[in-house]
Structure 1
């Protein structure tokens, strides 16, 4: 338990430092917003960005630092906790993948209505990365999606043990809250995301990438939960698949740390706006 807490504390410390460095760039865009329904997309950033958290996390944990940093660059950004049971609202992503996909679809519609935008971009981590691919393919809203940036998605499945470990490390209520939720109500999403799980079969049956959507999949060679690491990738025409280490070879970042890693953040923002992609100074992320 102490080791897990130290791991999480270290990752959060790295995240705080990374966000300060990431948002301190001299050429920031004006405007932007973080879960602000009055935010209006700009000419520079015409699509709001919807962030999708991982298993056991919430809208205010996992991708919250990255979301705030992207908002500071002038984007309208939004997030919502999906897949939580009413009895355990601080533990997201546990309900069946298809149920959560319906929630996410509704949230995307809400964002489009509030902002007046015609499309959103999706950025997801882990289960959220899987959902960014799954929702776009299965919910009949591909025309509403401009770009998908999936960070370490278990595209072709993973192990239940790995997903449970991730939930224990990321749960807002701590290990006890996540453990109690799993014991009381279970984790249908875990069953959906194992290799050959129902959601994995649905996603990988036929093409994953949808016409008109720009896809980027980012993962680490040292990801210890989605293994083999190349199974995160979508090997289809037009999809950009990249390891963090292709750009930053000495970054040891692992699965959890990918949500908080400064190098990943820069790769994400470059993927959101490839026409204005910039070179950046690599830092060392958190292993594990």
Structure 2
């Protein structure tokens, strides 16, 4: 595993840089409380378009309610939630809708940017360089460090992780290869690239994998279904003992293809297809992070004793299910 670890000094510098960003983001979002009563709930707008505009106007800021180091987990929600964004995304854009919803429900929420070492500038607005583009084993080290920081800050023995795309798959490497299983209770993935993607079949064409890697970073090559990384990640069981897994996927995923490659096998796994019982949901790979139905499935996974039926409303691609601020 030596080739998958970082030089200590480089990791230390990266950690300090990330901590600086998180602290600055927390300062910007300090006006948002870490937990909200009904009369002071944070606005929740389920809209990818609104998230895009917000991230462009407020780069390198935490999503609403996240990264409050004074937040103390409650008996009802004893584990903080760590949000892990997707490829060429960032915390500001990716968690625009879900972070305030979780905070309103009483969770302590923490988010960060990772995998920016490639220096690539192409991606969702909200940070520069683009996040989630570095080799996945390297980004998993960043996740491990961040989880440790969250546990130290909150005094919690374990966290729950919610991730989108790469952010839903990457934690599996952390759990299985970096000892993360002792620190995580539940991993929830929104359209996670668990068994890789063939990119609508394009990855099978000569030169395409190299082109994707050059344009979007090492993490994209790692996520192709035939990559060495995917072979290593899925060489054994999909899951590790002691961790619960929930996969929330849409059949209209145009990035993780076929969409069924997101699903996991194992005794601790719940796989959810958004269109089961709701054919009017047209959410795609990006839109699932802003979709009201997917959002409720996340809440149900984190708190199954208080699960409610997810709404079934029209949900277009990219934007997710739009609704008035609530």
Which TM-score bucket, shorter chain as reference? 0.7 to 0.9
Q: Deviations over 1:136-174 (max 9, x none)?
A: 22211201101000111111111468999xxxxxxxxxx
In the TM superposition, residue 59 of structure 1 has moved relative to its aligned partner by 1.5
In the TM superposition, residue 241 of structure 1 has moved relative to its aligned partner by 0.7
Supply the distance in 1 between the matched residues of 2:270 and 2:146 (Cα, whole angstroms). Answer: 26
In the TM superposition, residue 52 of structure 1 has moved relative to its aligned partner by 0.5
Q: How does 1:240-279 map to 2 (within 5 A)?
A: 240-279=270-309
Q: Which has the larger radius of gyration?
A: 2
Q: TM-score, normalised by structure 2?
A: 0.70
Supply the distance in 1 between the matched residues of 2:195 and 2:155 (Cα, whole angstroms). Answer: 35
1:91 aligns with 2:130: yes
Supply the distance in 1 between the matched residues of 2:277 and 2:200 (Cα, whole angstroms). Answer: 30
* Distance verdict in 2 for CA 1:138–1:152, change over 3 Å: same
Three-state SS of the structure 2 residue aligned to 1:55 is coil
Supply the distance in 2 between the matched residues of 1:131 and 1:282 (Cα, whole angstroms). Answer: 29
In the TM superposition, residue 226 of structure 1 has moved relative to its aligned partner by 1.1
Gaps of 5+ in 2: 1-46, 54-63, 122-127, 204-210, 319-326
Q: Return structure 1 stretches of 4+ with deviation > 3 angstroms.
A: 13-16, 86-90, 159-164
User: Match of 1:136?
Assistant: 175
In the TM superposition, residue 205 of structure 1 has moved relative to its aligned partner by 0.8
Q: How does 1:35-50 map to 2 (within 5 A)?
A: 35-50=67-82
In the TM superposition, residue 225 of structure 1 has moved relative to its aligned partner by 1.3
Q: Deviations over 1:236-282 (max 9, x none)?
A: 22210110112433201111100110100000000111111112432
Residue of structure 2 aligned with 1:229, choices 253, 259, 265: 259
Q: TM-score, normalised by structure 1?
A: 0.79
User: Match of 1:74?
Assistant: 106
User: Match of 1:28?
Assistant: none
1:203 aligns with 2:253: no
1:12 aligns with 2:49: yes
If asked which structure has higher relative contact order (CA below 8 Å, sep 6+), I would say 1
In the TM superposition, residue 72 of structure 1 has moved relative to its aligned partner by 1.4
Residue of structure 1 aligned with 2:311, choices 276, 281, 284: 281
Name which of structure 1's ranges 133-142 and 40-49 shifts more when overlaid on structure 2: 133-142
CA RMSD of aligned residues (A): 2.6
The number of residue pairs the alignment matches comes to 247
Q: How does 1:47-196 map to 2 (within 5 A)?
A: 47-85=79-117, 87=119, 89-159=128-198, 183=215, 187-196=217-226
Three-state SS of the structure 2 residue aligned to 1:154 is coil
In the TM superposition, residue 11 of structure 1 has moved relative to its aligned partner by 2.9
Supply the distance in 1 between the matched residues of 2:301 and 2:257 (Cα, whole angstroms). Answer: 23
Three-state SS of the structure 2 residue aligned to 1:259 is helix
In the TM superposition, residue 33 of structure 1 has moved relative to its aligned partner by 4.7
Three-state SS of the structure 2 residue aligned to 1:242 is strand
Three-state SS of the structure 1 residue aligned to 2:99 is helix
Gaps of 5+ in 1: 1-9, 17-31, 165-178
Q: Deviations over 1:11-45 (max 9, x none)?
A: 324999xxxxxxxxxxxxxxx95211111100000
* Distance verdict in 2 for CA 1:163–1:112, change over 3 Å: farther
Supply the distance in 2 between the matched residues of 1:123 and 1:105 (Cα, whole angstroms). Answer: 14
